[in-house]
Amino acid sequence: MPDTTTINAPVVITIGAGTTVYPLTDCNCAQATAESIHTRTRYATRVATSATGTGTFKYLGCFCRSHAGAPASIS
């Protein structure tokens, strides 16, 4: 993940030095957003492909959809 990113930016995966990007979706096929994932964390995925040659990385679990209303810190 870049050092700075927009909270609701869609998460995509690039392999090597390629320019093709593949979306990261969850078990319900919902697009992952930057707020859904953590840096330096491993996520179990599988690659889903179609007959037309498109693909997606599918997370085997479900992401927390929103951290809205969560406290910024606990004192």
Give dist(CA 58, CA 25) in Å, integer.
5
Binning pLDDT at 50, 70 and 90, where does residue 67 land?
Answer: low
Q: Which amino acid is at 46?
A: R
Nearest to 59 by CA among 13, 14, 31, 26: 26
Give dist(CA 49, CA 61) in Å, integer.
18
The model's pTM is: 0.74
Binning pLDDT at 50, 70 and 90, where does residue 56 land?
Answer: very high
Neighbour order of strands in the sheet with 12-14:
12-14, 21-25, 55-59, 45-49
